[in-house]
A = this chain, B = another copy of it.
Amino acid sequence: MKDLEDIPGLMDEMGRRARAAAADLAFAPPEAKRTALHGAADALEAQRTEILTANGHDMAHGEGKGLSPAMLDRLMLDDARLDAIANGLRAVADQADPVGQVIAEWEVPSGLRIRRVRTPLGVVGVVFESRPNVTADAGALCLKAGNSVILRGGSESFHSARAIHACLIAGLQTAGLPEDAIQIVPTRDRAAVTEMLRMRGYLDVIVPRGGKGLVGLVEAEARVPVFAHLEGICHVYVDAGADAAKARAVVLNAKTRRTGICGAAECLLLHRAIAGELGARIIADLVAAGVEVRAGEGLQHLPGVRPAALEDFGREFLDSIIAVAVVEDVDGAIAHIRRHGSGHTEAIVTEEAAAAERFFTRIDSAILMHNASTQFADGGEFGMGAEIGIATGKIHARGPVGAEQLTSFKYLVTGNGTTRP
């Protein structure tokens, strides 16, 4: 029985178990991992009632704490979302197993044959906040990549995450894989996070998944490599060469489809030449959809609009609010995004290939979209089955992090008694 008061002791034990499980997982047959994930999806459907009940507890707790509607939307589970989680598990299950894949193979003049082969990373730590589906996505992707994982969910999603975790354990049992492959920290005590950030001997990488406060804490304090997941301050730029129908559809979708996800647009940039007509129509669309439009100079006369403050640019609202500014041209948009963006996802709407190419080349965000909604910034939509998060850093992982980016590699070199001159 674990002592939930002794956090260092608890985390040390979890670390040792994770390391031992990782050694087994590194050679686990692909079929066993597949079976475990299908088993978890089956368990998720069988335990639907228990999970929704647990989520009801978390929702009530969140409402009591006064979480914003967008935050509550992140936390909420229903049948459709449970179906999506189960489908995500199955999609990951049926992907090609990344471990052992030959990434590259070549011969060198000395006669050596060199193969670069995918290997697991080892042990992954995931620290997340309100979204309970992270439990399933992160657990599944780490397992698929042959890693063990220690999950630490936020207090908001405590019960939901544990209920989903129980399904993952059921899957591991079905497949005969070690239960320690997917552990969840069994306490809301924040000291557990502090411990995780120092577990150099046990954790190979730590993935923070949450708001600015959490990610900032992790990046500042971690003694373990971090896959940075900063804010999603996503921009949509409507160029002079935009098709009006596409622009209206993309902007409305980018802002309103779901406002609480990191791929939601937070800022609309309008080329001066189209700001007055197409721009005004897009803003009217947003206002009609109930979005609070905070507009910069030249747009503040439009109906339903309120003036933007300086700090509304570069801000992640995660709510039904958008900042709008007029820029001179594509270079003005690029400059604005370089200054205010978070390196997550930006979109350009234009029919002019040169403008799109310039936007693609000159902006260094993880994802750049041309004539498509920023809401597609998602591992599932990218064909990865699920994602452990969207990385905004540039080391190792970037953009949606699927199983493949949770691997490392090694070189296998074959000679014939070959010596170096």
A: which residues have CB within 8 A of B? 26-27, 106, 108, 110, 112, 114, 119, 121-122, 204-205, 225-226, 243, 245-247, 249-250, 252-253, 257, 349, 356, 360-362, 364-373, 375-376, 381-383, 393-396, 398-399, 408-420
Known: A249-B419, A373-B419, A420-B373. A364 touches B119 (CB 8 A): yes
User: Copy number in this complex?
Assistant: 2
**Which residues from chain B contact A413 at a C-beta distance below 8 Å?**
367-370, 372, 376
**Which residues from chain B contact A393 at a C-beta distance below 8 Å?**
225
Q: Is the CB of A382 within 8 A of B416?
A: no
**Which residues from chain B contact A225 at a C-beta distance below 8 Å?**
225-226, 393, 395
Q: How far is the CA of A114 from the CA of B398 in the complex (A)?
A: 14
Q: Is the CB of B367 within 8 A of A246?
A: no
What distance in Å separates the Cβ of A315 from its nearest Cβ neighbour in chain B?
20
Determine which residue in A243, A368, A411 has the highest number of CB atoms from chain B within 10 A of its CB, and name it: A411
In the complex formed, the residue of B with least CB distance to A404 is B104
Q: Which residue of the partner chain, among B110, B250, B366, contacts A376 with CB atoms under 8 Å?
A: B110
Q: List 23 A-B contacts (CB under 8 A).
A: A106-B383, A108-B382, A119-B394, A121-B395, A204-B394, A205-B395, A245-B417, A246-B416, A247-B417, A250-B419, A367-B410, A368-B411, A369-B413, A370-B413, A370-B415, A371-B416, A372-B419, A373-B418, A373-B419, A373-B420, A375-B419, A382-B411, A398-B408
**Which residues from chain B contact A368 at a C-beta distance below 8 Å?**
410-413
Q: Is the CB of B418 within 8 A of A372?
A: yes
What distance in Å separates the Cβ of A51 from its nearest Cβ neighbour in chain B?
24
In the complex formed, the residue of B with least CB distance to A391 is B408
Known: A249-B417, A253-B420, A372-B112. A411 touches B367 (CB 8 A): yes
Determine which residue in A114, A119, A257, A349 has the highest number of CB atoms from chain B within 10 A of its CB, and name it: A114
Known: A110-B381, A410-B365, A410-B368. A375 touches B420 (CB 8 A): yes
**Which residues from chain B contact A394 at a C-beta distance below 8 Å?**
119, 121-122, 204, 408
**Which residues from chain B contact A416 at a C-beta distance below 8 Å?**
246, 371-372
Q: How far is the CA of A301 from the CA of B196 in the complex (A)?
A: 50
Q: How far is the CA of A361 from the CA of B205 in the complex (A)?
A: 22
Q: How far is the CA of A394 from the CA of B364 in the complex (A)?
A: 25
Known: A121-B394, A408-B395. A370 touches B26 (CB 8 A): no
Q: How far is the CA of A106 from the CA of B133 in the complex (A)?
A: 26
**Which residues from chain B contact A247 at a C-beta distance below 8 Å?**
417
